[in-house]
Amino acid sequence: MEFGSHTKSHTILTQVTPERVEAELRDSKQTLEEALKKRVCLLSYPNGNHDQLVVEMTREAGYIAAFSCLPGINYSCDERYAFRRKHLTEYYSLGLRGEFSEAFFAVDLCDIRERIRLLRSLMERQRRKASDPANGLEVTVTRSTPQARGEE
Ligand SMILES: [Zn+2]
């Protein structure tokens, strides 16, 4: 199990001064590290809110990765200061009777809906690319006749 920081006071980091961001990131990290007696290097942005400055300050504070609440799938570590992640609340994965549904939760965790959306988007892109005349896949055949060439 890995413990990560969520800032000291759940401050929305994009709405406060850089000095406050720095303190929130530093103090939370220090408190956890002292209590756990181990390094804390992951951060979850409160409400997922982050911008370029917050990302830079997170890196400078010694975190190696951070989590947003952006939907979708992480395909690489390129965006490791804005990993996509599911934001769960008590109203998440409600079944037909309005109660928590393990089945709906399993479907949501598998990101099946997101994968279908991505697949549709990829298929649409492929379809558009295939029908693009500039792509060279459509060939126009013109017959060259002696008259067209100016011959008789
Ligand atoms: Zn939170």
Extents of the domains making up the chain: 1-87, 89-132
The structure's pTM equals: 0.65
User: Distance (Å, rounded) from C-alpha 44 to C-alpha 4?
Assistant: 7
Distance from the alpha carbon of residue 6 to the mean position of ligand 1, in angstroms = 7
Would you put residue 111 in left (φ > 0), alpha (ψ -120 to 50) or beta? Answer: left
Give 99 Cα–ligand 1 centroid separation in angstroms.
Answer: 23
User: 95 alpha carbon to ligand 1 midpoint, in Å?
Assistant: 24
User: How many Å lie between the centroid of ligand 1 and the Cα of residue 12?
Assistant: 9
**Given a cut of 70, is residue 78 above it in pLDDT?**
yes
| Phi, psi (degrees; rounded to nearest 5) at 32 | -65, -45
Does the structure show a pLDDT above 70 at 143?
Answer: no
- Over residues 92-128, the pLDDT tens digits come to 788 888 898 888 888 777 777 677 777 888 889 888 8
For the ranges 19-28, 55-64, 142-151, which has the lowest average pLDDT?
A: 142-151
What's the rounded Cα separation, in Å, for the pair 141 and 131?
17
- Residue 115 corresponds to which amino acid? R
pLDDT at 140: 47
Given this model, what pLDDT does residue 134 score? 67
Q: How confident is the model at residue 16 (pLDDT cuts 50, 70, 90)?
A: very high
pLDDT for 26-72, tens place per residue? 999 999 999 999 999 999 999 999 999 999 999 999 999 999 998 87
94 pairs with which residues across the strands?
100
**So what CATH class is 1-87?**
alpha beta
CA–centroid distance, residue 101 to ligand 1 (Å): 23
Q: Per the structure block, which two tokens stand in for 132?
A: 């693009």
- Could you tell me the distance, in angstroms and rounded to a whole number, from the CA of residue 14 to the centre of ligand 1? 14
HEC letters along the chain? CCCCECCCCCCCHHHCCHHHHHHHHHHHHHHHHHHHCCCCCEEECHHHCCCHHHHHHHHHCCCCEEECCCCCCCCCCCCCCCECCCCCCCCCCECCCCCECHHHHHHHHCCHHHHHHHHHHHHHHHHHHHCCHHHCCCCCCCCCCCCCCCCC
Distance 86 CA to ligand 1 centre (A): 12
The predicted structure's pLDDT at residue 95: 82
Q: How far is the CA of 126 from the centre of ligand 1 (A)?
A: 39
Alpha carbon of 119 to ligand 1 centroid (Å): 31
**How many whole angstroms separate alpha carbon 152 and alpha carbon 149?**
9
- Rounded to the nearest angstrom, the distance between the alpha carbon of 64 and the centre of ligand 1 is 19
Give the confidence band of 138 by pLDDT, cuts at 50, 70, 90: very low
